[in-house]
């Protein structure tokens, strides 16, 4: 196998491929990237057995062939090379990397490509188009609320279902929840609800340009996505997702409206003196404003008050500050409203009118 390719062209794709390899064991076959010269293209594939990635780029091909090589080492080498064209050549178990007109020569050990696991291809797939910007915005508002390493696997993913007017995306770890109910065109096909691994959606978010459309195809066990010439897939999570609508209050008695920027800055400052593992802060909401207070500890205590539009009794709410900070970072508009009925029951965080998402936070029990 022999070909020449510009550094930036191949570097971009190897960076993407790296995210789909398994790096826990450097000796694993899935820590390698698959390279194949076919015609005037280089085919690049990677998999960790649960997810897979494939793409192709134009190259100056001199000799067809295919190999496996360490994705980590290949990426490190290409990144370190000067800009310009690079010659790649495989022979007798080695893969040579030589920038043209440079006194640089790297050789990596290669593996026979026959050992590479077969990627899921999905026979006779039918894709449907989804606006990239709309879909990635749905990811932004939900993925962070999914659980991490929970024994209940279904909570480690993001729930996606077809609705009458579009799609709903939800994520929850049992203590917080993010939901987007977005309207799409009438051309979306019907599909059964699925649970998507969070990692796949964050990679999709990274691959998407935010312009045009992306293509999705859903099977019983797999989700395929196509962005430009890149195709990738994931195994879906099995299980019954919680009845999430039951935990979203139909109405709440009190409403405190604040500037998003004010709350974000106050949370960042007050959290400097939060030392407990629970990341607890207190919100004392009154008609005079919202007072943020950290737990008093050996380092000291932090307090800050911000303006608030509110009518109701003085109320103290205890919560994990990251559960409020994270959604506010991706919330649109200038203001948000914190809705509640009692300080120990679910809070909803809602943006200005005109948006189709909300966030729910379960407060902590008050300390004596």
Q: What is the DSSP letter of 309?
A: B
- Minimal CA–CA distance to 320: which of 260, 364, 368, 269? 364
**How many distinct helices (H) and strands (E) make up the chain?**
6, 25
Going by pLDDT thresholds of 50, 70 and 90, the confidence category of residue 73 is very high
Domain 2-115: CATH superfamily is DNA Polymerase III, subunit A, domain 2 (3.10.150.10)
Question: Quick one: tokens of 242?
Answer: 């919680």
* CA distance readout (Å), 169 to 143, 166, 210: 9, 10, 18
Nearest of 274, 280, 357 to residue 324 by alpha carbon: 280
CATH among 2.60.40.10, 3.10.150.10, 3.40.50.300, 3.10.20.310 for 128-244: 3.10.150.10
The fold adopted by the segment(s) 249-361 is DNA Polymerase III; Chain A, domain 2 (3.10.150)
Domains 2-115 and 128-244 share a fold: yes
For the chain, domain boundaries? 2-115, 128-244, 249-361
Question: What's the pLDDT tens digit per position in 214-259?
Answer: 999 999 999 999 998 899 999 999 999 999 999 999 999 999 999 9
pLDDT for 300 beyond 70: yes
For residue 79, give Cα distances in angstroms to 7, 15, 24, 76: 8, 10, 22, 5
pLDDT in tens, 189-217: 999 999 999 999 999 998 888 888 899 99
d(C-alpha 200, C-alpha 48), whole Å = 12
What's the pLDDT score for residue 12? Answer: 95
Backbone φ and ψ for 323, nearest 5 degrees, come out as -70, -20
SS3 185: coil
């Amino acid at each position: 196998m022999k070909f020449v390719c510009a550094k930036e062209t191949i570097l971009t794709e190897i960076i993407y491929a790296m995210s789909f390899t398994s790096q826990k064991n450097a000796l694993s076959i899935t820590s390698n990237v698959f390279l194949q010269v076919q015609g005037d293209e280089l085919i690049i594939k990677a998999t960790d057995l649960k997810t897979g990635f494939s793409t192709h780029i134009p190259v100056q091909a001199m000799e067809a062939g295919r190999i496996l090589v360490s994705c980590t080492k290949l990426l490190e080498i290409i990144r370190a090379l000067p800009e310009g064209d690079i010659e790649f050549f495989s022979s007798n178990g080695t893969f040579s990397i030589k920038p043209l007109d440079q006194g640089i020569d790297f050789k990596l050990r290669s593996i026979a490509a026959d050992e590479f696991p077969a990627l899921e291809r999905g026979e006779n797939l039918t894709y449907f188009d989804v606006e990239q910007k709309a879909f990635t915005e749905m990811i932004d508002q939900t993925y962070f609320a999914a659980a991490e390493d929970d024994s209940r696997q279904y909570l480690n993913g993001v729930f996606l279902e077809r609705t009458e007017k579009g799609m709903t995306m939800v994520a929850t770890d049992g203590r917080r929840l993010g939901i987007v109910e977005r309207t799409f065109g009438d051309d979306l096909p019907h599909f059964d609800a699925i649970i998507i691994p969070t990692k796949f959606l964050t990679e999709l978010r990274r691959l998407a340009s935010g312009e045009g459309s992306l293509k999705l195809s859903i099977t019983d066990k797999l989700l395929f996505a196509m962005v430009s010439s890149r195709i990738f897939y994931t195994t879906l999570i099995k299980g019954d997702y919680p009845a999430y609508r039951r935990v979203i209050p139909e109405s709440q008695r009190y409403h405190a409206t604040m500037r998003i920027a004010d709350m974000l800055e106050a949370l960042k400052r007050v959290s400097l003196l939060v030392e407990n593992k629970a990341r607890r802060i207190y919100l004392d909401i009154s008609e005079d404003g919202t007072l943020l207070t950290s737990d008093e500890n050996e380092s000291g205590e932090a307090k800050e008050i911000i303006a608030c539009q509110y009518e109701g009794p003085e109320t103290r709410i205890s919560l994990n500050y990251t559960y409020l900070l994270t959604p506010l970072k991706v919330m649109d508009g200038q203001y948000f409203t914190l809705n509640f009925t009692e300080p120990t029951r679910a809070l909803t965080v809602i943006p200005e009118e005109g948006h189709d998402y909300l966030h729910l936070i379960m407060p902590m029990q008050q300390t004596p």
